[in-house]
Structure 1
Amino acid sequence: MREKGLTKFMYEVLVTYGPIATFTFPGLGRFVTINNPESIEYVMKTNFDNYIKTPGSRIRLLDLLGDGIFNVNGQMWKFQRKLASHLFYGKNFREIICVVFEEETKKFLKIMEEKANSGEIFDLQELFYRFTLDSFGKITFGLDFDCLTNLKNPVRFAAEFDLAQSITNKRITNPFLWRFNEMFTDEGRKMREACEYLTNFAYSIIKKRRNDPECSKNPKDILNLFMNAEYENGVKLNDKELRDIILNLIIAGRDTTAQELAWMMYNLMENPGVERKLVNEVNSLLSEDNPIPKYDDIKKFEYTQATFYETLRLHPAVPINIKLCLKDDRLPNGTPIYAGELVNWSSWAIGRDERIWDKAKIFNPERFLNSDDGLKPSQYKFTSFNCGPRLCLGQNFATIEAMTLATSLLRIYKFERMTDQKSPPDFAISLTLPMKDPLLVKVHRRN
């Protein structure tokens, strides 16, 4: 079953049978869906250790993600998460992260000026990918992918990464025959070539770092943190382990924020009233003398943050989560789950559930401003950043990155979506939730 079909199938199960339901896929066994906050909190927090990433899923993701943070359980996951958390300290935000966001935003604004002058039609989602890859490369590895300064040149790393993600996701929806298919098909050959390129790329970064003692002394670089880290026995990470960490961090730092920016801009173009309110807020806080928000200013953009969260509610970066139950268990409502069965929930479906969200299908940022939870919604209701011990480390990172670029852009420019595109856009087969087709727009200067 294709991921698009699985995502929408999960929504149909929710609508037809309610938040707690069971179904069986031939060869995969019994699934228990838990699309309600109480059950999600139980699985992802209360009895967290009893639910792990499935071994089958881990094998299918191994070529791309290896033993990185998104593909491991237990101590290895805890070790990587603890180290990665150092990137997101407040001091790092102020001195490194927001400085890079500002630099890359200036480049993006310059590109918009050129496109406004030319009147050309372009793919806005592709530009967001370039923005986030440049930003994340500089922040975590001190590496400039040069995406925004060479728009005419395809970014091979990004192309190979996207190809590998797409094929990896097909494995998940074809769990029994993917090995055989890839052994004899052109798609399998492309997957092997893509993974080889990505691996060699990561190894080249590591080799360069190992050969540059001065560079390796920078304590604020996330790659250095991992290169200098030691296991309890005093052994440091080898190149293969570092390769896995690099590729896992890039999928987190590049893909999800770029996709959410694209979905956010689409929703603003479809909801001019929301756009008007957001631009009014931006104009009240930014000016010609202060065109890009500083770290201390970001929290003032409450309506912009609510708009970003509303985008995530309807277009979560990871639409489906699946866990394996280790020991017989019982949900808070009494539903039994037996060892070896699969538990799943869909953030995409939950975001459209009228039992959880009032007028769920309407794009309405005010729901976050006017609710009791405000801009700190329950992570078991608003699961777009995952939840419990696996709550996304980069939540603030992604929010600040998106808001920095969006506020700076929308103060000056207005986007016009080409009318011959499907609305709403389809999402593509991927580990995350990109738009299937380019987001084709023209950009105009505001009056």
Structure 2
Amino acid sequence: MISIITSMFVGLLGILLYLIIKYPDRSIGTNARPDLTGPKGLPIIGNLLEIRKKELTNFMYDVLMEYGPIATFTFPGLGRFITINDPESIEYVMKTNFDNYIKTPGGRVRLLDLLGDGIFNVNGQMWKFQRKLASHLFYGKNFREIICVVFEEDTKKFLKIMEEKVNSGEIFDLQELFYRFTLDSFGKITFGLDFNCLANLEKPVPFAAAFDFAQAVINRRVTNPYLWKFKEILTKEGRKMREACKYLSNFAYNIIKQRRNDPEALKDTRDILNLFMNAEYENGEKLTDKELRDIILNLIIAGRDTTAQELAWMMYNLMVNPTIEEKLVKELNSLLSEDNPIPKYDDIKQFEYTQATFYETLRLYPAVPRNVKLCLKDDKLPNGIPIYAGELVNWSSWATGRDERVWGIDAKIFNPERFLGSEDGLKPSQYKFTSFNCGPRLCLGQNFATIEAMTLATSLLRKYKFERMPGQKSPPDFGVSLTLPMKDPLLVKVHRRN
């Protein structure tokens, strides 16, 4: 018996030594890439410990700043990452040879219980089908007749809440209010559903709490690719995750059920949910309730989270940059008045400094801080660097926005005027300014998000000044999520402007 145990131990030790020799500085299963620079990893586990210590977005930033614009690292269970940070390479991957770089199967599995087969979690024909239908929401006529009408209605509600908070002197979380605003607006525009978040400030929003929790759990799965399924079976977090996903699914199914039971509502051709419910595949079949559920939750993550977070980051940067705020308010006073306190659709383009401030916020605080694709066939980047089938190509909008090689020596400084005095125009190349993604996957809702943020921000900042409460970290940390929320509440007081 002892000899058997000894033999097994010696055998395992031999296998371990073999793996250490074969993978001396990278994760198991990856090929050596001596032609690329990057942080040296540990035998078998590669850069696992560094990534877990720093968080993936921060780790990628450090790698690109030290080794970029193209670098590499490895992670067990995921493989070798080729991290790119130059606009030419990003354009090649996201446009020129788009079909060779797809969403990763592992990433799809991690997102499956929340996003299912929705637009953010599929490739190929299913993605094209959903994107084509969703694009109908963003026609110019819809902006005038539906979208901007809702934005104006909810902005009036938000301004009324600000007046109450001025009178009470209350300290409150501004980011939380922005979440309520965007969820209310998007629910009405997309599903004809009023979440009543702004009408019931004293009540928590169960949908939002479940959604935020599920996103945080999914983000943590990235750094635990082997064991997250087993861990979630056994832990309290896993049980809570299953409950959250069940709640979100039931919520979406109830929306679908109510719509099916209302034939008159189904006739509204401007409603995006109706477009999907009435759509047919090439074989004549309609979408199932499960497919509609996935689409609803994917749309909400785009319509609620991203704009609310950008508004919060924008307000923070204005509070810590009073000179920029002063210039912005000067523009608002020249274009708005007591008789015209909320801009109309055709007025938005006049607010150039405000829009530049919003884009500068997106540059430094992109709603989706990183992205990754799987290479299907051996390929070469424009600079001649090979990418082999099975390797992962990733980039970080967070890092790109802070890279002096891309944005100049003041890349880390919040400066809206870079968008006004630049030869690129108000919004530069999408492969340099990747905050709305780029190529065929360019964000359908970029104008929607911009107009929503501009409508609320212009109306709000003309009338009110925000005071950030002391004791908060500056700049704030971002939270663990699929997107880029502030980790902690943005605690403020609001005052009327003189």
TM over 0.5: yes
1:354-395 deviation line (CA, Å, top 9, x unaligned): 011120011000000000111131000000000000000000
Q: Is the 8 A contact 1:3 1:169 kept in 2?
A: no
Q: 1:30 deviation in Å?
A: 1.4
Residue identity in the other structure for 2:493? K
- For 1:204 and 1:13, locate their aligned partners in 2 and report how far apart those are by CA, in whole Å: 45
- Give the aligned partner of residue 368 of structure 1: 419
- Give the aligned partner of residue 230 of structure 1: 280
1:29-54 deviation line (CA, Å, top 9, x unaligned): 21111100000000000000000000
- For 2:417 and 2:392, locate their aligned partners in 1 and report how far apart those are by CA, in whole Å: 36
- Give the aligned partner of residue 73 of structure 1: 123
- For 2:126 and 2:400, locate their aligned partners in 1 and report how far apart those are by CA, in whole Å: 30
- Give the aligned partner of residue 311 of structure 2: 261
- Give the aligned partner of residue 205 of structure 1: 255
Q: 2:332 aligns with which of 263, 277, 282?
A: 282
- Give the aligned partner of residue 463 of structure 2: 412
- Give the aligned partner of residue 496 of structure 2: 445
Q: 1:250 aligns with which of 281, 296, 300?
A: 300
- Give the aligned partner of residue 400 of structure 1: 451
Q: 1:433 aligns with which of 460, 484, 487?
A: 484
Q: 2:187 aligns with which of 129, 132, 137?
A: 137
Q: 1:4 deviation in Å?
A: 6.1
Q: Does 1:345 align with 2:387?
A: no
Query: Number of residues paired by the alignment?
Result: 447
Residue identity in the other structure for 1:178? W
Structure with larger Rg: 2
- Name the stretch that deviates more: 422-431 or 23-32: 23-32
1:296-329 deviation line (CA, Å, top 9, x unaligned): 0000000000000000000000001010000000
Q: Is the 8 A contact 1:42 1:332 kept in 2?
A: yes
What is the TM-score of this pair, normalised by structure 1? 0.99
- Give the aligned partner of residue 382 of structure 2: 332
- For 1:265 and 1:280, locate their aligned partners in 2 and report how far apart those are by CA, in whole Å: 16
Q: Is the 8 A contact 2:77 2:225 kept in 1?
A: no
Q: Is the 8 A contact 1:163 1:194 kept in 2?
A: yes
- For 2:53 and 2:278, locate their aligned partners in 1 and report how far apart those are by CA, in whole Å: 39
Q: 2:218 aligns with which of 165, 168, 176?
A: 168
- For 2:420 and 2:60, locate their aligned partners in 1 and report how far apart those are by CA, in whole Å: 29
- Give the aligned partner of residue 239 of structure 2: 189
Q: 1:3 deviation in Å?
A: 9.5
- Give the aligned partner of residue 155 of structure 1: 205
Q: 1:163 deviation in Å?
A: 0.8
- Give the aligned partner of residue 370 of structure 2: 320
- Name the stretch that deviates more: 155-164 or 432-441: 155-164
Q: Is the 8 A contact 2:378 2:389 kept in 1?
A: yes
Identity rate of aligned residues, in percent? 85
Q: Is the 8 A contact 2:119 2:295 kept in 1?
A: yes
1:173-220 deviation line (CA, Å, top 9, x unaligned): 211110011000000000000000000110000000001000000011
Q: Is the 8 A contact 2:371 2:396 kept in 1?
A: yes
Residue identity in the other structure for 1:254? R
Q: 1:123 aligns with which of 147, 157, 173?
A: 173
Q: Is the 8 A contact 1:4 1:427 kept in 2?
A: no
Q: Does 1:39 align with 2:89?
A: yes
Q: Is the 8 A contact 2:68 2:84 kept in 1?
A: no
